[in-house]
Amino acid sequence: MRMLINVPETVVADALRGMAAAHPELTVDVERRVVVRRDAPVAGKVALVSGGGSGHEPLHAGFVGPGMLAAACPGEIFTSPVPDQMVRAAAAVDSGAGVLFVVKNYTGDVLNFEMAAELAEDEGIQVAKVLVDDDVAVTDSLYTAGRRGTGATLFVEKIAGAAAEEGAPLERVESVARRVNERSRSFGVALSACTTPAKGGPTFDLPDGELELGVGIHGEPGRERRAMMTSREIADFAVDAVLEDLRPSGPVLALVNGMGATPLLELYGFHAEVQRVLTERGVPVARTLVGNHVTSLDMAGCSVTLCEADEELLRLWDAPVRTPALRWGM
């Protein structure tokens, strides 16, 4: 196993210690596994809290900061955080205006955030929840009932985070988050399996010369396996799968996302093909983000997420943001 780690048991804690040292604008509780923007709670503002298994960085802790999340709860690798983390995060960031939990649709995350919401409300914290379920590849998977939550999580956290930053009430922030999710669809492709530190080897078998179309961010199987395809062919398949379900009538936000081991050279080349397909299908692109944002450890591959964006969503997308992994306008 060739990994830049000490021992598998301390991977998450070591990463959080490093994040704390690199980003003094964050408060990082390594022992209790909570990352909070240092100026929290911000008076009069709704606070967004999210979280999930580690291994998808920069999601979620890399998106903590002004204009996005108020706090994030990292679990162990590919394992949901526990309700105590979520309640602790909610208590740390609640200003009295309420907290919105952003939850990816994986069974452990859903159950634990549900329990955390009940516990937080018992402590007098007003909580709303939005479930992200944007993946069009499969309806049910090893980890979910219904569609998986993937790249649209970034869109939800950024756009709803901007609404909260403007001072919108909890009901409005929740409504914006739900609208983003309803207008977003994703499709992922794996060119290789990922390797967890605990296992020290591939998490699933993907023979040389083959790829997985519709893979999940934990390596869950997709629609089918095929012989290796060109970037052009993959873009045709992935974008058509998204558009078949989304059917946008206006411009879209486009996320071309790397799974962790795909270099930007390849991602930008793939993005050119995604743009080609969208142009051929008559879909205008209003904004684009390219890079490794919602990853799966060292998996080679990519995903495409499109969000049909109206003027308000575009304005909130363009609003200033300052986090370790996403920043503009400040």
Active site residues: 56, 218
Q: 25 is written with which tokens?
A: 């604008």
Q: 53 is written with which tokens?
A: 């298994």
User: Alpha-carbon distance 193 to 188, whole Å?
Assistant: 13
User: Alpha-carbon distance 257 to 51, whole Å?
Assistant: 19
Contact in structure between 242 and 277 (CB atoms under 8 Å): no
User: Alpha-carbon distance 92 to 184, whole Å?
Assistant: 30
CA atoms within 13 A on the CB side of 154: 32
User: Alpha-carbon distance 315 to 204, whole Å?
Assistant: 41
**Among 178, 137, 136, 172, which residue's Cα sits nearest to residue 155?**
178
CA–chain centroid gap for 160, Å, is: 13
